[in-house]
Amino acid sequence: MNPAGYSEQMRRAWAITRKDIRIYYLKGPVLIFGVFMPVFLFLAFLMGSRQLPLAFLISGLVGMTLFFTATAVSPAIFPWEGQAKTLERLASCPITIEAVVLGDMMASTIFGIIITLVTVAIGLGLGLPLLHGIILFPVILLAACCFSAIGMLLAVPPTNVPSNIMMLSSLLKFPLVFISGIFVPLEQMPSWGLVLAFCSPLTYFTDLVRYSFTGAHYFPVLADIAALAIFTMAFTAGTMYLHKRTMPRRM
């Protein structure tokens, strides 16, 4: 494809993003799983916590919020589109499947960033110093892309029943939250827990958020960023490839 063709596909992907923002941001499942769920989990943990430092708690809230919000929109878009019989019309348009997936991912990324910046503002409002903002904000963008790609991977099964995808999404997201150092510091995890934590991109993002607020980190900062970048590229390539294969079975 020539550069003009790529530019045109990007323009169409952005049109998909704007459509998703208008239609899906205020849907019930998106608000429940993307906004209210991390807040309720955080409040439950806060009430039962052992007087952990505020910086630890807010860093965990930021990590959990971005993870839940960036994976709230993208998993259900394809099932909703298939259920409404609009996916066939979209597939008949002069747009590649990769551009459609990219448009859905951008909508999820923007949603995640907006809500996460609110939680960062709450932390700052409570008096937390932001020691490494130059690290935090680019990392929020990178992690949002990574988590939105995970959301699109969850939408790969060719079903038009959104509840099936949301159930699968919950089965994956809740274990990842509990093994990623959000509620239990990595230093206090058993060896088997650390092995699981290494496999979660949320672990590296949470570590970077804590570094941004406190200057403390478990992994080297560059290692955290490199791990997030690798996860992002792998998940994005995987979701593009798998959706291209499963799209015909959705029709």
Give 67-101 pLDDT, tens digit per residue: 988 888 888 787 777 776 777 677 667 788 888 88
> Can you give the residue ranges of every domain in the chain?
3-250
Residue 221 pLDDT exceeds 90: yes
Residue 57 pLDDT exceeds 90: no
pLDDT band (50, 70, 90) for residue 251: low
Long-range contacts of 176-180 (CB under 8 A, 24+ apart): 176/67, 176/200, 176/202, 177/41, 177/64, 177/67, 177/202, 179/203, 180/63, 180/206
Residue 34 is classified by DSSP as I
Residue 127 pLDDT exceeds 90: no
The per-residue pLDDT for 142 is: 96
Tens digits of residue pLDDT in 102-123: 988 999 999 889 889 888 988 8
Pick the range with the lowest mean pLDDT from 149-153, 172-176, 230-234.
172-176
Residue 2 pLDDT exceeds 60: no
What's the whole-number mean pLDDT along residues 132-142?
Answer: 93
User: In this structure, what are the phi and psi dihedrals at residue 200, rounded to the nearest 5 degrees?
Assistant: -105, 125
The per-residue pLDDT for 137 is: 93
Q: Can you tell me which residue has the tokens 């958020």?
A: 209
Average pLDDT, the chain: 84
- Alpha helices (H) along the chain: 3-24, 28-31, 37-48, 54-70, 74-83, 87-91, 97-125, 133-154, 162-179, 191-198, 201-214, 221-250
pLDDT band (50, 70, 90) for residue 19: confident
Reference 151, options 65, 76, 66; nearest CA is 76
Neighbours of 71 (CB within 10 A): 27
The percent of residues above 70 in pLDDT, for the chain, comes to: 89
Q: Can you tell me which residue has the tokens 């963008």?
A: 141
CA distance 142 to 239: 17
